Amino acid sequence: MSDQGTTRRGTNRRDVLEKLSIGSVTGGLAAVLGQRDIVHPVEARSVSDRSVFEFDETVDPNETFPQSVASGGPTESGVILWTRLSTEAADSDRPMGVQVAADDEFEAIVYEGTVPAERISSAHDNTVSVDLDGRLESNRFYFYRFIYDGVATRTGRCRTLPAPDESPDSLSVAVLTCQDYQNGYYGAYHHVAAEDVDFVVHLGDFVYESADGSYTAPNAGIADGRDFDLPSGEPLAESLADFRTLYRTYKRDELLQDGLERHTFVYGWDDHEVGNNRYWNYETGAPVLPDKNGGGQPSVATEFTANGIQAWIEYTPVRVEFDGSESTLHDQLELWRTVRFGDLLDLAVTDERLYRDGPPCEDGRRIFCTDEEAQGRTMLGSEQKRDFKRWVSESDAIWTVWANEVLTMPLTIGDGSNQVELFLDSWDGFQHERKELMQHVADADPQNFVALTGDLHASLAGYVKSGYGEIDRNQTDERVGIELMTPSVTSVNAADVVDFPGDWDEEALAHLAEKENEQLEFSNFHRHGYAVVEFSRDECTFTVYEVDKETNSRDAERTKLVQYSSPDGSTALYERDTRSDR
């Protein structure tokens, strides 16, 4: 699943600095993670005692499996299945059974095995991941369950990828991002569970590191019933126990469980899985967490980041590479990967946090600051950037799709010397690298290039270009693809945090954004929900759904907000449905 290629490291200054600096502070983050018992998905053993599959159908599984089940990391011949035992239920001498069937009644079981007792450990917070790669047939839905001490989980559904030589007529994905638990409720996940989609792509911020409402809207406070405390007593997660508490809390939500049980996910991450606006300091060889106490101190930020990464790996069924024996973090942990859906779609997932330089214009000057244009600034890092370029050049699918954390298109106000980039945490803060990458897309000329994007808590549709005049104001730029941004599930958007004047309604804000940014076809900064993107052999269709985040119920209202399509071989976007007038 990972596009490893040949030896990728060159000898430029950035490569040398990456190698030397990452381990420079108290052994570095690589040393901290390398010393830990990081959980890896297990291959279940063959069955020797069938009593492990016996269970009482009348027993509620919630006390034994409080976080239910989930699946992710699909391949053409398997998936990773995930669950967690409660502390009270875990028994160090008892194995766990896992069954996979072609039907939800488990009359046609296609695989069963046992997870040995020694692989169920408090050292991993009793999380269990089972890798079925090589066990299943391609391009199929399956049903699965875990069984432990006479109790079975609720039934989950998973899906394998089409084989590379298969030619699906179509494939659809739900796209999710930014779901702060304290900002609302997960009705969107219940609706996603009911969607007839093949997979879910999650673009990051699955959890937020806060327990004190740090990221809630002004004057709104924490949503009812969403209070919880971290073991450390701190407002933002620091310890491993803190980060595990976040995942345990989020994944106990029944509406969230609806979506996780029903679909197989392809996961990326963003900043809040560790800390807001995190980045890498190549001079100190350590991460920086600007919002956390001590987050600017290399040793402190290193420990916090290691804790966040470990919990993410434990609680996320994701197919990433981790090798604790490597000497640098960027060799130990590789989130970058490509996922192939037959000849229809080739998806790349990038890591846009672990390699990125710090923010430009740190003193707050934006109108006259040009740091964001600096040639040496990187978001992807040199090695991942080479992988990205190779992937674009070699992709021969109808749709070349980038699972992209932060906005690629510029979002600015004003013009000329008075132009201001509104979000320098996005690709606007890395303009030279953006131009380099998008010019490579233009040169490689894949059949169709689509960026699926999250992070901004808005829904947008627009055009990816080889440049936007940011480096050379007189340059002529071309469209190379389209960008489709999904709204946040719950996390605050512009309408939540800005007290707009009375005549600045939803349409007025969208009109201003689109007037100031010609690359935008559609924008909405007021609504929460999710998107569904369908890829056929003829077109790509992007549908945004608003879901009421104020209702903690499966009855939360869902409304189609907008729908756009883009034909095969085109970089044009066409609106299909009238925008909501709400």
Q: Is the pTM of this model over 0.85?
A: yes
Mean of the pLDDT values across residues 406-430?
Answer: 84
Stretch 394-420: mean pLDDT: 89
Indicate whether 156 pLDDT > 70: yes
Is residue 15 scored above 60 in pLDDT? no
**pLDDT at residue 501 is higher than 90:** no
- Tell me the mean pLDDT in the region 282-309: 94
Question: Is residue 450's pLDDT more than 70?
Answer: yes
Q: Is 474 exposed, middle or buried (0-12, 13-18, 19+ CB in 10 A)?
A: exposed
List, in order, residues 6 or more apart from 123 with CB less than 8 Å away.
Answer: 37
> What pLDDT is stored for residue 578 in this prediction?
56
pLDDT tens across 341-386, in order? 999 999 999 999 999 999 887 645 555 567 767 788 999 999 999 9
Residue for token digits 């009375």? 502
Residue 189 DSSP SS3: helix
* pLDDT value, residue 417: 61
pLDDT(340) > 60: yes
Length of the chain: 582
CB neighbourhood size of 16 (10 A): 12
Residue 390, Cβ density class (10 Å: 0-12 exposed, 13-18 middle, ≥19 buried): middle
- Cα–Cα distance for residue pair 561/563, rounded to 1 Å: 7
Sign of the CA dihedral with 549 first, then 551, 553, and 555 last? negative
Superfamily of segment(s) 50-159? Purple acid phosphatase-like, N-terminal (2.60.40.380)
Confidence of residue 30 (pLDDT cuts 50, 70, 90): confident
| pLDDT tier for residue 12 given thresholds of 50, 70 and 90 | very low
Give dist(CA 199, CA 161) in Å, integer.
9
Residues 6+ apart with CB under 8 A from 276: 209, 215, 289, 290, 291
CATH superfamily of 13-35+162-575: Alkaline phosphatase D (PhoD) (3.60.21.70)
Coil/strand/helix, residue 340: strand
In sequence order, which residues have a C-beta less than 8 Å from that of residue 387 and are 6 or more positions away? Answer: 3, 5, 8, 336
pLDDT of residue 385: 98
Residue-range domain boundaries for the chain: 13-35+162-575, 50-159
Indicate if 50-159 has the same CATH topology as 13-35+162-575: no
How far apart are alpha carbons 245 and 293 in whole angstroms? Answer: 19
pLDDT at 282: 93
pLDDT at 20 (0 to 100): 33
* Mean of pLDDT values over 132-161: 98
Share of the chain above pLDDT 70, in %: 90
Kindly tell me if the per-residue pLDDT of 68 is higher than 50. Answer: yes
- Give pLDDT tens digits for 451-476: 999 999 999 999 999 988 654 444 55
